[in-house]
Structure 1
């Protein structure tokens, strides 16, 4: 799949993207597309910008068709001609992004978002009072996913911690930072706690069971490192 294929995919699904992201998330998506324009004909910079586009869309519900297509997006060792975007196609997407009105989340998208968050909040998790060591001293600095439960307050999914020491698992910290969990904890949690076609299992269930490098490669495949 070329960069132009990605641009066309984004153009066709723009209404769904608008409806499924918060204002802040949508702004981040716009910024990532502008970064793609700023990359010009520098293939390395274009690959980095494409990675940012995909990261910006991680908050999309996994159940959406667009999210599934983005998860499958690969270019491998694509030639520069497949990497560099058509300038007219990119300009048209930016024009559309600039011209749209910010919509109210439609009922169907809102229900999908609620269902996703409820699913993630049912996973085993710890409250702030249960954190120990470095996690208790500075949860944000430790690179931990923090989910806000309207009834129970902050929750930290259990898979992030070594069961013996209670310390954050280094591989989880590394991948959380790759997935920008500080900016989008729900998207990062959805990656860990959802089915993964690359791993053929739930990533959180594989921590400690497969080599750390395997998990890191799966996260890199999602966001484009190594492929884009």
Structure 2
């Protein structure tokens, strides 16, 4: 994988980001944790399987990778963080070579994953683990999101006219395998899902990363001045869509 950084050629910033992820793969894996790291591999595989000549599909698939990487707890001056914040990453779309780079990076990270946890080959993933994960862990974050008001699967289906809820709706599985549909996605009382929620969820790739989409809606948002879910009906729909579009750099 080459770090094609000369000028603002199509795909150069995207290719640089992928190259940096490969170069700092151990930090990326440790920062994301096993569950989010597996999701990164899945998103890279989706990008790698995209038709290289389909510009929009490549852009959307790359956005899925980039949005996940924004959750890395990296120092502000870390090369990956700087690449993610680069204005050029937003201004220059990924090019066809980005698909090839994603394929190579997915292979590199998969090989690293097969070698064992980030602690080294054969390391025990439970060694030194905290038996009571705190709020900063993936498990703790999921527990907080599951505590939000939600509809069970049968009620969500009823709200959708008896049909299967659309893929854009956020559905969060609990430890028993039951699906929870965060209640903010529906109007109070009765009725089908909010159209603006479905539109934003498409931008947030909620069908691929429902936890990330739920966190965007339910946690504080400095751009909007509050949790987006609490602002439904209080802010114009366009402002909510714009805030989500800004996050994923959608045109």
TM over 0.5: yes
**What's the offset of the Cα at 1:138?**
2.6
State which of 145, 168, 187 in structure 2 corresponds to 1:162.
187
Relative to structure 1, the CA distance from residue 45 to residue 118 in structure 2 (aligned partners, 3 Å threshold; closer, same or farther) is closer
CA distance in 2, matches of 1:206, 1:71: 28
Q: Does 1:78 align with 2:91?
A: yes
Relative to structure 1, the CA distance from residue 73 to residue 188 in structure 2 (aligned partners, 3 Å threshold; closer, same or farther) is farther
Contact 2:142 2:211 in 1 (8 A): yes
**What's the offset of the Cα at 1:165?**
3.4
Contact 2:18 2:105 in 1 (8 A): yes
- 1:23-34 pair list within 5 angstroms: 25-32=39-46, 34=48
Q: Which has the higher helix share?
A: 1
Q: Does 1:180 align with 2:205?
A: yes
Q: For 2:198, what is the secondary structure of its paired residue?
A: helix
Unmatched tracts of structure 2, length 5 or more: 1-11, 118-124
Ranked by relative contact order (alpha carbons within 8 Å, sequence separation 6 or more), the top structure is 1
Alpha-carbon RMSD: 4.0
**What's the offset of the Cα at 1:129?**
4.5
Q: Which has the larger radius of gyration?
A: 2
1:126 matched residue in structure 2: 151
Contact 1:131 1:166 in 2 (8 A): no
1:91-116: per-residue Cα shift (whole Å, max 9, x none)? 874563253134455647x9411101
What is the total number of aligned residue pairs between the two structures?
A: 215
Please identify, of 115-124 and 17-26, the stretch whose mean Cα deviation from structure 2 is larger: 17-26
State which of 207, 226, 230 in structure 2 corresponds to 1:201.
226
TM-score computed with the length of structure 1 as normaliser: 0.70
TM-score computed with the length of structure 2 as normaliser: 0.65
Q: For 2:247, what is the secondary structure of its paired residue?
A: helix
